[in-house]
Copies of this chain bind each other. A is one copy, B any other.
Protein backbone atom coordinates (compact mmCIF):
# COMPACT_ATOMS: atom_id res chain seq x y z
CA UNK A 1 0.00 0.00 0.00
CA UNK A 2 0.92 3.57 -0.57
CA UNK A 3 0.92 5.56 2.65
CA UNK A 4 0.70 9.34 2.80
CA UNK A 5 4.21 9.56 4.23
CA UNK A 6 5.56 7.57 1.31
CA UNK A 7 3.85 9.99 -1.04
CA UNK A 8 5.37 12.95 0.76
CA UNK A 9 8.95 11.64 0.74
CA UNK A 10 8.70 10.53 -2.87
CA UNK A 11 7.29 13.88 -3.96
CA UNK A 12 10.25 15.69 -2.44
CA UNK A 13 12.85 13.26 -3.77
CA UNK A 14 12.98 14.69 -7.29
CA UNK A 15 15.17 17.83 -7.60
CA UNK A 16 13.04 19.46 -10.29
CA UNK A 17 9.89 18.93 -8.25
CA UNK A 18 11.53 20.14 -5.07
CA UNK A 19 12.71 23.25 -6.92
CA UNK A 20 9.15 23.99 -8.00
CA UNK A 21 7.92 23.69 -4.43
CA UNK A 22 10.76 25.90 -3.19
CA UNK A 23 9.86 28.58 -5.73
CA UNK A 24 6.26 28.53 -4.59
CA UNK A 25 7.36 28.89 -0.98
CA UNK A 26 9.72 31.77 -1.77
CA UNK A 27 7.68 33.71 -4.29
CA UNK A 28 4.14 32.64 -3.47
CA UNK A 29 1.33 31.70 -5.81
CA UNK A 30 2.29 31.18 -9.46
CA UNK A 31 0.64 30.13 -12.69
CA UNK A 32 1.82 27.08 -14.60
CA UNK A 33 3.13 29.35 -17.34
CA UNK A 34 5.23 31.41 -14.93
CA UNK A 35 6.66 28.27 -13.36
CA UNK A 36 7.41 26.74 -16.75
CA UNK A 37 9.29 29.84 -17.88
CA UNK A 38 12.22 29.13 -15.57
CA UNK A 39 11.78 25.46 -14.73
CA UNK A 40 14.11 24.16 -17.41
CA UNK A 41 11.66 21.49 -18.53
CA UNK A 42 8.60 21.46 -20.78
CA UNK A 43 5.16 22.63 -19.72
CA UNK A 44 3.69 19.11 -19.57
CA UNK A 45 6.56 18.08 -17.32
CA UNK A 46 5.77 20.96 -14.99
CA UNK A 47 2.08 20.02 -14.96
CA UNK A 48 2.94 16.44 -14.02
CA UNK A 49 5.24 17.56 -11.22
CA UNK A 50 2.55 19.86 -9.88
CA UNK A 51 0.07 16.99 -9.96
CA UNK A 52 2.51 14.90 -7.89
CA UNK A 53 2.97 17.73 -5.38
CA UNK A 54 -0.79 18.13 -5.17
CA UNK A 55 -1.27 14.40 -4.55
CA UNK A 56 1.15 14.73 -1.63
CA UNK A 57 -0.81 17.70 -0.32
CA UNK A 58 2.15 20.04 -0.81
CA UNK A 59 0.37 22.47 -3.13
CA UNK A 60 -3.15 23.67 -3.83
CA UNK A 61 -4.49 24.77 -7.18
CA UNK A 62 -6.96 27.53 -8.00
CA UNK A 63 -8.53 27.88 -11.43
CA UNK A 64 -9.04 31.39 -12.77
CA UNK A 65 -10.19 31.63 -16.34
CA UNK A 66 -7.92 29.56 -18.49
CA UNK A 67 -4.96 29.61 -16.15
CA UNK A 68 -4.28 27.62 -12.99
CA UNK A 69 -2.59 29.18 -9.98
CA UNK A 70 -0.59 26.97 -7.62
CA UNK A 71 0.27 27.83 -4.04
CA UNK A 72 2.31 26.01 -1.37
CA UNK A 73 0.69 24.23 1.56
CA UNK A 74 3.45 24.15 4.14
CA UNK A 75 1.11 22.39 6.56
CA UNK A 76 1.85 19.25 4.53
CA UNK A 77 5.42 19.44 5.84
CA UNK A 78 4.14 18.57 9.31
CA UNK A 79 4.60 14.81 9.01
CA UNK A 80 8.11 15.39 7.69
CA UNK A 81 9.02 17.52 10.70
CA UNK A 82 7.43 14.99 13.04
CA UNK A 83 9.30 12.10 11.48
CA UNK A 84 12.64 13.90 11.64
CA UNK A 85 12.18 14.77 15.26
CA UNK A 86 11.03 11.26 16.11
CA UNK A 87 14.11 9.69 14.56
CA UNK A 88 16.35 12.09 16.43
CA UNK A 89 14.59 11.29 19.70
CA UNK A 90 14.90 7.54 19.34
CA UNK A 91 18.61 7.85 19.11
CA UNK A 92 18.70 10.29 22.01
CA UNK A 93 21.66 10.10 24.30
CA UNK A 94 23.61 7.56 22.29
CA UNK A 95 26.98 8.88 21.13
CA UNK A 96 25.47 11.23 18.58
CA UNK A 97 25.24 14.91 17.79
CA UNK A 98 21.66 15.10 18.93
CA UNK A 99 22.07 18.35 20.72
CA UNK A 100 23.24 20.09 17.59
CA UNK A 101 20.25 18.86 15.65
CA UNK A 102 17.68 19.80 18.26
CA UNK A 103 19.19 23.21 18.77
CA UNK A 104 18.88 23.86 15.07
CA UNK A 105 15.25 22.79 15.09
CA UNK A 106 14.38 24.92 18.09
CA UNK A 107 15.22 27.93 15.95
* A88 CB-CB contact with B under 8 Å: yes
A21–B9 CA distance with the chains assembled, in angstroms: 14
Q: Which size class do A's interface residues fall under?
A: 35 or more
Q: A80-100: which residues lie under 8 A (CB-CB) from chain B?
A: 80-82, 84-85, 87-88, 90-91, 94, 96-98, 100
Q: Quick one: given A9-B12, A106-B106, are A96 and B81 in contact (CB under 8 Å)?
A: no
**Which 10 A-B pairs have CB atoms at the shortest separation, nearest pair first?**
A13-B13, A75-B97, A25-B90, A25-B87, A74-B88, A81-B105, A74-B91, A26-B90, A9-B13, A25-B91
Please list the residues of chain A having a beta carbon within 8 angstroms of any beta carbon in chain B: 3, 6, 9-10, 12-13, 15, 18, 21-22, 25-26, 28, 72-75, 77-78, 80-82, 84-85, 87-88, 90-91, 94, 96-98, 100-101, 104-107
